[in-house]
Amino acid sequence: MSLLALATRYNWKGLEDFCKQVFQKAGVPEQSAAIVAESLVQADLRGVDSHGVVRTAIYLKRMEAGMIDAFADVEKVSESDATVLVDGKNNFGSVIGTKALDIALEKAKRNGASFVGVKGSNHFGTGAYYAMKAIEQDMILLVMSNASQTMPPTGGVRPFIGTNPLAVGVPSGKELPFILDMATSVVARGKIIVSAQKGESIPLGWAIDKDGNPTTDAHAALEGSVLPMGGPKGYAISMFIDILAGVLTGAGFGKYVNNMYENWEQPQNVGHLFIAVDINRFIPVDLFKARMDQYIREIKQEPKAPGVDEILIPGELEYRRTLERKENGIELPIKVVEELAGIGQSYGIDLAKAAYEHAKNEGAKSWN
């Protein structure tokens, strides 16, 4: 393997193409492979590295073990004017999520709003991935998902609920759109996984060990539990999401959402809920965008606390990080690079071609 293959900075488009080729070689249909690859690299671009290409290996392992069916037909189970229940049939989470999003947006355009529940899914990436697609169509989107047990109920020690994420996307005009994408834990468990891979400690207050003691050891945290944000408030929101995404849809909930890293006998059965709103049913979308611009500008013009240079809106840091990483490449941990290079080698795909310096030398700046 060349030294270039062990570079740690990668061109985003080259990395996306590498991942797409890997999934295709593994037997994933081309369109699905493109969706999965895009969702992973978009996470890395936004700085959500815990949901980026680091997940490539586990996705492939789940598929090879029969825990993901890349050829399953995502189907509607039931439907009304404003609601749809989708069975993902255990396909890739981002493939199922993209199908559910398309249904939600189409139905909202027809009826003003829609609620699309999903069962039989897997880890679907970041909620922002779907929020940004809805924004492109001038729609408001709320999307939530449950996850396997990683967080205790307030007052408990043992994991019972997931770090169930919530994302909201709202379009604007000349200003950046509002994009909230958050886990209901103090920190996404994926960040602790990344810290463990890097051999780094974690901040106190992120997690407890298996005995309920606060810990800064990432490995001990993974054996224990991450903590809900805001104590009982985060616990309540996570439970609320589990009810809507899991209990309501017929998906797994609580201890019945299976862990992708630990359970190799059963599919995950993750649940999602997509809520789409057609702005034009309230006020003309251009007027809404102008009002959003005004709102955002006035927030950013508010008096600043000592030491604060700028007031940011949700999603703004990630937007800037995306621009920077598209220009200068995505930095990956060496362990992730070695893992990806090994996967690529097994399929005859050279990760080195996605390296930032290689892409620049080959005149691939157009990828940016």
Residue by residue, DSSP assigns 237-300 as HHHHHHIIIIITTTS--GGGS--TTT--SS---EEEEEEEEEGGGTS-HHHHHHHHHHHHHHHH
How many whole angstroms separate alpha carbon 100 and alpha carbon 87?
Answer: 9
Q: What is the pLDDT of residue 49?
A: 93
Q: What is the pLDDT of residue 7?
A: 81
Per the listing, tokens 């050279």 go with 350
186 C-beta neighbours (distance < 10 Å), count: 19
Q: What is the pLDDT of residue 362?
A: 67
- In 3D space, the residue among 201, 37, 64, 58 whose CA is nearest the CA of residue 129 turns out to be 37
Classified by CATH at the fold level, domain 75-185+228-281 comes out as Ribosomal Protein S8; Chain: A, domain 1 (3.30.1370)
Could you tell me which CATH class the domain 3-64+330-367 is placed in? Answer: mainly alpha
Give me the amino acid identity at 331.
E
Kindly list the domain boundaries of the chain, sorted by start residue.
Answer: 3-64+330-367, 75-185+228-281
Report residue 224: phi and psi, to 5°: -105, -120
How many whole angstroms separate alpha carbon 290 and alpha carbon 293?
Answer: 5
Crossing angle of the two packed helices 127-136 and 30-45, in degrees rounded to 10: 100
Q: What is the pLDDT of residue 238?
A: 97
pLDDT in tens, the chain (368 residues): 444 447 899 999 999 999 999 999 999 999 999 999 999 999 999 999 999 999 999 999 999 999 999 999 999 999 999 999 999 999 999 999 999 999 999 999 999 999 999 999 999 999 999 999 999 999 999 999 999 998 999 888 889 999 999 999 999 999 999 999 999 999 877 788 888 888 999 999 999 999 899 999 999 999 999 999 999 999 999 999 999 999 999 999 999 999 999 999 999 999 999 999 999 999 999 999 999 999 999 999 999 999 999 999 999 999 999 999 999 999 999 999 999 999 999 999 999 999 988 766 665 444 44
Q: What is the pLDDT of residue 197?
A: 82
Tokens of 367: 């990828």
Give me the amino acid identity at 274.
F
